[in-house]
Structure 1
């Protein structure tokens, strides 16, 4: 069932709390978070086709239960994971690495979701690059300071303004979920001048002639990027080995199905999200050469190195394998 978890801002304080005890876990029960956008399509397919149940049964788990939590923002998702409200977190590489560092590696990546770009878009014709932002020009993103969009903005700022200036646009950032940020940008009636977005919201906004693109995360990072990941505590995986394997098997099947059935995948997205978007439009986004559904991390280490080098996290990763579960280690990740 879909559980809508409304977490107060104070829930972010749970980042400093202890991880849930093993007694909170039970094989066959899995609670999965998701956010907004086509990046989360593999989770929609798992849910729509009952793939977790299928893989769990193959592993001898007949009495299983799946719960879905619609959350927005890395702080809320990390708080939910640490409180034991969810078992699988779905959030950007930024929130994940923040939690990985704060828990000394007690959380790890299960898999990536997809390679898709994040666009910084604006309704202000005078803003052509990040150098043009004034103090009053607000940039909407899912979570100030911690989201993958926030980190992309910081990496872009460091490249533009030089070492030590990664936070130059931090005061411009405001927290808004992608649907709300898109509506605010298109309305032109708020302080929101720009949105560091994701698919399909950024392409939807760019249909309006008043909106133009400033940059892409692919430009900032030097190529395709996996911005969003699924991650879990090492304790949960240890206590629930069959549940973990059933979920990973379901994810692999869903990912392969999307790549082979893009029309059907678009229809699934519209149906599960109850979206008003034209399925043909969603299909065009999934078929974009910039989009690839894969569980393999791409350019995640660029974020890990940046966050450690700038002091945002205190734990140093020597390789992308340091913060991923071993099931991914035979892949050509980065």
Structure 2
């Protein structure tokens, strides 16, 4: 009994799943899976009772630290943090993507009437995002800066960014009167800002920077966890795939699940509008991720330059149509 109590995590049997998620509708598949107990359902199909723990974090740095310390089994964050940790653990923990959570346009919203494009930002502006330089918003902003001022100037706007959790940043934008007058957000926060402050307007759309719909938020894990827990891993991805189908077929069910799980204070009609927006596509196969990976390689943010999205995602039948 003493030995079992202090056994290392690697000795545990299948059936443990500790998931770190962040904020917003981009994590809706996890919310639906939690609300409908889909992971437990698919675990039973695999013959494994799965105990799921849900952990709330903010920012890619915090999520990556938790994964590498062994505090969580699956990390939820942007493609930027995934590529960072994939690069740093290649040949060691070999962290790779498990699934996408869908395609979502991320809006850089500003309340400064003088800011129409990113070229209009000055030292008086402050842009909130989940993690400085690491988050997918930070990387997309760098891509836009490189396009605006040249490849060598990709970090030109980094000095204006601040790490702020999405709910806090949205509250600042809607209320006004703080130094935060910009927010590179996610749904539904960007939608709440645009509806809640007449001065709020879109400066940048991530789809425009990335050349169309793109998977910006993903889930990832270490190679050891995936290899040591094949049935749990399979059940998890199958549950997410079912959740994606549920959200697409029944947005109202998804909206209610989101409200129950997150306890978010958002108008249900606005939430339903966001979930039903065709620009928000709920699917587990990653889409259009390689461009960001190649940019990060060119910018020197990662040393290993992937030739394909398959280099930084684990293989699974539900991901076969990825890109």
Q: What pairs up with 1:139-218 in 2 under 5 angstroms?
A: 139-207=127-195, 208-218=197-207
How much does 1:331 deviate? 2.4
Indicate the SS of the match to 1:302: helix
2:288 paired with 1:299: yes
The answer as to whether partners of 2:237 and 2:318 remain within 8 angstroms in 1 is no
How much does 1:276 deviate? 2.1
Matching residue within 21, 32, 48 for 2:19: 32
Q: What pairs up with 1:1-334 in 2 under 5 angstroms?
A: 23=10, 25-62=12-49, 64-104=50-90, 106-207=94-195, 208-327=197-316, 331-334=320-323
Equivalents in 1 of 2:265, 2:204: separation in Å?
27
Indicate the SS of the match to 1:326: coil
Equivalents in 1 of 2:138, 2:235: separation in Å?
33
In structure 2, relative to structure 1, the CA distance for the partners of 1:235 and 1:182 (3 Å cut) is same
The answer as to whether partners of 1:321 and 1:329 remain within 8 angstroms in 2 is no
In structure 2, relative to structure 1, the CA distance for the partners of 1:286 and 1:165 (3 Å cut) is same
TM-score between the two structures when normalised by the length of structure 2: 0.94
The answer as to whether partners of 2:107 and 2:204 remain within 8 angstroms in 1 is yes
Please give the root-mean-square deviation of Cα atoms over the aligned residues, in Å.
1.3
Equivalents in 1 of 2:38, 2:141: separation in Å?
36
Q: Deviations over 1:271-311 (max 9, x none)?
A: 21112212221111111121110011111101110011110
Of 270-279 and 72-81, more deviation after overlay is shown by 270-279
Equivalents in 1 of 2:297, 2:62: separation in Å?
22
Q: Deviations over 1:232-267 (max 9, x none)?
A: 101101111111111111111111111111111111
The answer as to whether partners of 2:290 and 2:309 remain within 8 angstroms in 1 is yes
The answer as to whether partners of 2:286 and 2:319 remain within 8 angstroms in 1 is no
TM-score between the two structures when normalised by the length of structure 1: 0.91
In structure 2, relative to structure 1, the CA distance for the partners of 1:329 and 1:38 (3 Å cut) is closer
In structure 2, relative to structure 1, the CA distance for the partners of 1:312 and 1:328 (3 Å cut) is farther
The answer as to whether partners of 1:25 and 1:239 remain within 8 angstroms in 2 is no
Structure 2 unaligned spans of 5+: 1-7
The answer as to whether partners of 1:22 and 1:235 remain within 8 angstroms in 2 is no
How much does 1:71 deviate? 0.4
Number of matched pairs: 313
Equivalents in 2 of 1:97, 1:209: separation in Å?
36
